Amino acid sequence: MKAGNFSDTPEFFLLGLSGDLELQPILFVLFLSMYLVTVLGNLLIILAVNSDSHLHTPMYFLLSILSLVDICFTSTTMPKMLVNIQAQTQSINYTGCLTQICFVLVFVGLENGILVMMAYDRFVAICHPLRYHVIMNPKLCGLLLLLSFIISVLDALLHTLMVLRLTFCIDLEISHFFCELAHILKLACSDVLINNILVYLVTSLLGVVPLSGIIFSYTRIVSSVMKIPSAGGKYKAFSICGSHLIVVSLFYGTGFGVYLSSGATHSSRKGAVASVMYTVVTPMLNPFIYSLRNKDMLKALRKLISRIPSFHWSVVMQSWLTATSASWVQAILLPQPPE
């Protein structure tokens, strides 16, 4: 195939989840709803943690940061997807595609690091309760978060700069709803051996190693909990860790599942549908998992909502419903532009 440099190939084409025009309004409504739920749910978690002094602990601090990362993560991919569906266009320029790759890698790396820190927090709280406040002090939390951020940014910049050296073929169609690194490498006409080695190496270091640390932490936690004589104490300890374990299973299970299956399947469209799980569904479910299973969080959310005057709350909800309904009606009823 004929290759061209970046000036000859100014844009890529995101094919999305389906090429069926009749499904586009349904997809728009579905993903707009999921995006709004994700942003609103995670924003409520952040506000609840910051407004309640009882939640000013390392565990809830990390939870609020996780919610912020989830908002940023979904905002990196979802708005562009919704705009493309609404405007009936598939294009994304080269700069926008590389920017999307970079930010996706940054926020995935951050979420990975925060989940590891939360596992360590639970390990210290259950296995070393008397030393918890000494070990998990604000300085350590800040340093770990800064370290995770630096590693994530360096990893994202490394992969993005390695893509800059590639040349691409004329066929620039990406069977996905956002620019994912693995799909971009498949479109390159130049040698991607170094890029692939780098991907597998970094995935091993920043994926497998943290996951091993989480597994080790929970192995020690289970061992300590089993030594607790009372059934009530065991239940309380497991309930504290239950929410985090569910989120870890969703994030790593769907993430590794997508990448491990991508080499075995020939359908990139199926891989894009599977990617919805860790890019859209998991960030949307996180607020529900952490709030519904946590009495302190539910109490803080009730306090937060009760502080909002009923008039203002009704105005906000009415404005949100009006804007959302207008977008849905426009997407469903307006005729599609001619091709």
7 within a domain of the structure (yes/no): no
Q: Where are the alpha helices (DSSP H) in 22-57?
A: 24-51
Determine the structural domain holding residue 166 and report its residue range.
Answer: 14-310+320-332
158 within a domain of the structure (yes/no): yes
CATH number at residue 118: 1.20.1070.10
pLDDT category at 268 given cuts 50, 70, 90 is low
* Average pLDDT across the chain, whole number: 80
Q: Please determine, for residue 288, whether its predicted confidence score (pLDDT) is greater than 80.
A: yes
Strand residue runs (E) in the chain: 3-4, 11-14, 91-93, 168-169, 173-174
Among the listed ranges 94-103, 156-165, 176-185, 266-275, which one has the minimum average pLDDT value?
Answer: 266-275
Q: Please determine, for residue 211, whether its predicted confidence score (pLDDT) is greater than 60.
A: yes
1 within a domain of the structure (yes/no): no
77 within a domain of the structure (yes/no): yes
Predicted confidence at residue 120, as pLDDT, reads 92
pLDDT category at 326 given cuts 50, 70, 90 is very low
94 within a domain of the structure (yes/no): yes
4 within a domain of the structure (yes/no): no
Predicted confidence at residue 251, as pLDDT, reads 82
138 within a domain of the structure (yes/no): yes
* Residue 74 dihedral angles phi and psi, to the nearest 5°: -70, -30
Q: What are the angstrom distances between the C-alpha of 138 and each of 52, 57, 62, 70, 241? A: 17, 9, 11, 22, 21
Q: Please determine, for residue 307, whether its predicted confidence score (pLDDT) is greater than 90.
A: no
* Whether this model's pTM surpasses 0.95: no
9 within a domain of the structure (yes/no): no
- Split into its structural domains, the chain has a count of 1
Predicted confidence at residue 148, as pLDDT, reads 94
Q: Is 146 exposed, middle or buried (0-12, 13-18, 19+ CB in 10 A)?
A: exposed
